[in-house]
Structures are given as C-alpha cells and as structure tokens.
Amino acid sequence: MIRSFFFKIFFYIGIISICIIFLPSLFLPQKFTLFGGRIMGHWAKFCLEIFLSTKIIIKGKENIIKNEKFFIASSHQSAFETFFLQTLFNCPVFILKKELLKIPIFGWYLKKIGSISINRDKISKENLDFLDKIKKVIKYSDRPIIIFPQATRVDFNDRTPFKKGVARIYKEVNIKCQPVAINSGKVWPKSGNLIPKQILTVSILEEINIGIDENDFLKNLQDKIYNELDNLS
C-alpha cells in the first residue's frame, strides 16, 4: 500500500511536470509534442521499476512490422500501455473516447498529436467520419494507428469479447495488423492499489496479414491476444 501511494504521487507529479514543461510544444511543430509523449512512456516504466520493483519484459520485438503500413491492436488493462507503447512504436495515433480530449492540458496534448476521438454513447456525423480520418492518417503519415479492441480498461482476468470496430477498421484500411498483449493489470489493476514485485510483459505478437474475412480476423485477433495473456498469467 505504501509503495502504491508513493508510485501514484511521483508518477502523476512527473506526468504533470512533463505536461507543463512541454506546454510551448503545443504551438510548435507536432514532433516536439510527440517527443514529450515518449518521455511520459519512459517515465511510466521508470516509476514502476523504482517504486514497485516491477520487472518489465519486452517480448517479440522481432515481430514488429517494418517498412510498411500497419495498425496496432492492443489489450488494455491499465494506463501503462497508453504511455509506454509510444516508446516501442513510431508515436502511434490513438483512437480513443472523446471524453479524454476534455481533460485540461492532457486533452490538449491528445489533440495536438492527432488522436482520433469517437463518441461511444451515440451515433454522430463525427463517428461516421472516423474511418475517413483513419484512412487519411494512413495515407499521409508513417505513424501507425493504435486501437484497444476491448474499448476500455478491463481487469487482469477479464476476457470480454472484442468490439467489432477493430474488424471494420481492418477491412476498410487493408493493411496488416500488429497484435500486442500486455498483462499490465497484474501490476496496475483497474481499481485499488498497485501490486509490487510483479512481472509485466509486453508481448508483440506475429502480424495478421491482409485479405482475411472480417469475422475470421476478429476471432484470430482475440484468440492471439487472449491466449498470450493466459500464458502470461
């Protein structure tokens, strides 16, 4: 409990400090803001290792897709992956719930780095246009899109079915998918205190190629990620 308390104090003070230091980057080219995001990712890793004695393992780096367009589909158990994946991949463009853009300062950063928002509570013109926004990013940027198919943070042992939106994206954009399984909830649960002296594994899985039926893709992706999470339990 004491370790969890100190982690939260230092982690959030650090994140707020980075936001304040990089405030001028909101008026500069996007690359400066993206650099601040990578620092946040390294800070999250540092705090877990120092305050909670977490052992962080990166598995499957050789599976990272190179020299071609792809999108990332990752499990989502804590805030860790939203920060740390920025250090492993080329500053991913996040697909996220619109409410996050309303957070003071932090929301400004999310807008600046080109995050694509979606309103989960209703159908709107903005939601209908989100695929066009994704296609535009893929066409004009080298940054991969990242989506969390569970749509929200889930508990460590939760195996909720993936949302169909990820399959729709796969079908529409016609590029490879990079699955990622992260058991961060083992250390940083959705609620309650953080748990010290655990092994947190970021597992980069083999790509899913193009040309698969939409439903088969969804099942393949879900099986890949959940089977890996079961192995990491």
The pLDDT of 174-179, averaged and rounded, is 96
- Given a cut of 60, is residue 123 above it in pLDDT? no
**In which band, very low, low, confident or very high, does the pLDDT at 229 lie, cut at 50, 70 and 90?**
very high
User: 103 vs 10, which has greater pLDDT?
Assistant: 10
Q: What is the pLDDT of residue 125?
A: 53
**In which band, very low, low, confident or very high, does the pLDDT at 121 lie, cut at 50, 70 and 90?**
low
**Which domains does the chain possess?**
2-232 (3.40.1130)
**In which band, very low, low, confident or very high, does the pLDDT at 96 lie, cut at 50, 70 and 90?**
confident
Q: What is the pLDDT of residue 130?
A: 79
Are 83 and 34 in contact by the 8 Å Cβ rule? The answer is no
Q: What is the pLDDT of residue 120?
A: 59
The pLDDT of 2-13, averaged and rounded, is 94
Q: What is the pLDDT of residue 12?
A: 95
Count of residues for the chain? 233
Q: How far is CA 27 from CA 2, 24, 41, 60, in A?
A: 39, 6, 22, 37
Q: What is the pLDDT of residue 98?
A: 81
Q: What is the pLDDT of residue 107?
A: 86
pTM: 0.91
- Given a cut of 70, is residue 187 above it in pLDDT? yes
Q: What is the pLDDT of residue 211?
A: 93
